[in-house]
């Protein structure tokens, strides 16, 4: 009897160890409404050992999956496992209501290397991307260049739009009038008339005209926004923008990683990211 017990314990120990060694996530995927949440994502109601705590989502009323970025609320529209993206919409943006605005400003700085947002390769520091601070990024690295001289370029998944309020009407191709959507709406003030504009991706700080102020920044899907009306742009705000969660795969890489088309993870090498971008050094 004692022997049998011992044998059983031994077997259990082996089973336990092998399951531990495989380092696979033992948890079955969760769901929130029709959205399946699988590793590295987890719901806050899941056991702590499920998924990666950096990728915790919330479920509201079993219908809406919510991502909090800096305690700011975004509704999850889709999680794509093939290209490691998550599509989200700011909680303030309402369907078919072009007067609804993002509740918060979201900038590239919050989503990985802010320097790369402006001059793509005008890095000034050798600090590489810290995947713990930036579990979500607005780009994915893509390998370009020759096979033996790889370079890594951040490819944008989303682009910036800015909301601008002006004290006087502005006539500039950079300033798209929001029409009835915002003018006379939310910002209206009987004693202070405000003219409301947006710009997608084409503005420098120096383009801000006197008596205009930058109200808010938001992200949009990558698209050609030339000639689009504000209503059309708003419908893309409602569609949401993609963020990458490829950093979840960079765990063992000191300098970040990229995912090959074959789904293999490659650490970006020992040299700094700017070296890789410019001279294309490798691991």
Ligand X SMILES: *[C@@H]1O[C@H](CO)[C@@H](O)[C@H](O)[C@H]1NC(C)=O
Q: How far is the CB of 19 from ligand X (least distance, A)?
A: 17
Residues 238-267 that bind ligand X (CB under 6 A): 242, 263
Helix runs in the chain, H state only: 2-21, 230-239, 273-278
**Beta strands 42-43 and 56-60: pairing type?**
parallel
Q: Measured between alpha carbons, how far is 218 from 237 in angstroms, rounded to an integer?
A: 8
Q: Does 24 bind ligand X (CB under 6 A)?
A: no
Q: Does 165 bind ligand X (CB under 6 A)?
A: no
Work out which of 19, 44, 45, 80 binds ligand X, going by CB under 6 A: 80
What is the size of the binding site for ligand X (CB under 6 A)? Answer: 16
Give 64 or 272: the residue with its C-beta nearer to ligand X: 64
Q: Does 124 bind ligand X (CB under 6 A)?
A: no
Give 77 or 272: the residue with its C-beta nearer to ligand X: 77
Q: Does 83 bind ligand X (CB under 6 A)?
A: yes
Q: Does 85 bind ligand X (CB under 6 A)?
A: yes
Q: 3-state DSSP call for residue 26?
A: coil
Q: Does 157 bind ligand X (CB under 6 A)?
A: yes
φ and ψ at residue 14, rounded to 5 degrees: -65, -45
Q: How far is the CB of 141 from ligand X (least distance, A)?
A: 12
Give 113 or 137: the residue with its C-beta nearer to ligand X: 137
Instruction: Pick left, alpha or beta for residue 228 (phi over 0 → left; psi -120 to 50 → alpha; otherwise beta).
Output: beta
Residue closest to 266 by CA, chosen among 275, 277, 255: 255
Q: How far is the CB of 2 from ligand X (least distance, A)?
A: 43
Q: Measured between alpha carbons, how far is 27 from 36 in angstroms, rounded to an integer?
A: 13
Residue closest to 219 by CA, chosen among 126, 88, 85, 100: 88
* Stretch in the footprint of ligand X (CB under 6 A) among 165-173, 174-182, 197-205, 224-232: 224-232
Q: How far is the CB of 197 from ligand X (least distance, A)?
A: 18
Whose tokens are 């999680």? That residue is 79
Q: How far is the CB of 249 from ligand X (least distance, A)?
A: 7
Count CB neighbours of 52 within 10 A: 15
Q: Measured between alpha carbons, how far is 280 from 277 in angstroms, rounded to an integer?
A: 5
CB 73 within 8 A of CB 41: no
- By CB neighbour count within 10 A (0-12 exposed, 13-18 middle, 19+ buried), where does 28 fall? exposed
Give 202 or 271: the residue with its C-beta nearer to ligand X: 202
Give 15 or 78: the residue with its C-beta nearer to ligand X: 78
Q: How far is the CB of 223 from ligand X (least distance, A)?
A: 11
Residue closest to 260 by CA, chosen among 246, 248, 271: 246
Q: How far is the CB of 80 from ligand X (least distance, A)?
A: 4
* Stretch in the footprint of ligand X (CB under 6 A) among 67-75, 123-131, 159-167, 188-196: 188-196
Footprint on this chain of ligand X (rule: CB under 6 A) = 33-34, 62, 80, 82-83, 85, 157, 189, 191-192, 224, 226-227, 242, 263
């Amino acid at each position: 009897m004692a022997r049998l017990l011992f044998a059983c314990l031994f077997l259990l120990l082996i089973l336990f160890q092998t399951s531990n060694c495989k380092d696979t996530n033992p948890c079955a995927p969760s769901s929130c409404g029709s959205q399946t949440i699988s590793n590295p994502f987890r719901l806050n109601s899941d056991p702590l050992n499920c998924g990666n705590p950096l990728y915790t989502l919330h479920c509201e009323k079993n219908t809406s999956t919510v991502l909090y970025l800096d305690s700011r609320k975004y509704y999850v529209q889709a999680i794509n496992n093939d290209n490691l993206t998550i599509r989200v919409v700011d909680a303030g943006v309402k369907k078919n209501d072009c007067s609804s605005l993002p509740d918060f400003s979201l900038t590239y700085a919050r989503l990985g290397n802010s320097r790369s947002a402006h001059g793509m390769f005008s890095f000034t520091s050798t600090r590489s991307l810290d995947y713990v601070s930036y579990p979500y990024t607005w780009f994915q690295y893509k390998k370009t260049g020759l096979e033996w001289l790889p370079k890594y370029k951040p490819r944008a998944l989303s682009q910036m739009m800015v909301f601008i309020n002006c004290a006087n009407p502005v006539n500039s191709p950079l300033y798209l009038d929001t029409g009835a959507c915002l003018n006379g709406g939310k910002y209206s003030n009987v004693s202070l008339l405000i003219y409301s504009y947006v710009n997608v991706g084409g503005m420098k700080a120096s383009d801000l005209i006197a008596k205009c102020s930058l109200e808010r920044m938001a992200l949009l899907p990558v698209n050609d926004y030339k000639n689009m009306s504000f209503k059309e742009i708003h419908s893309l705000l409602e569609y949401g923008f993609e963020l990458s969660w490829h950093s979840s795969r960079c765990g063992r890489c000191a300098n970040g990683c990229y995912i090959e088309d074959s789904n293999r993870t490659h650490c970006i090498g020992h040299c700094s990211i700017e070296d890789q971008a410019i001279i294309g050094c490798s691991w």
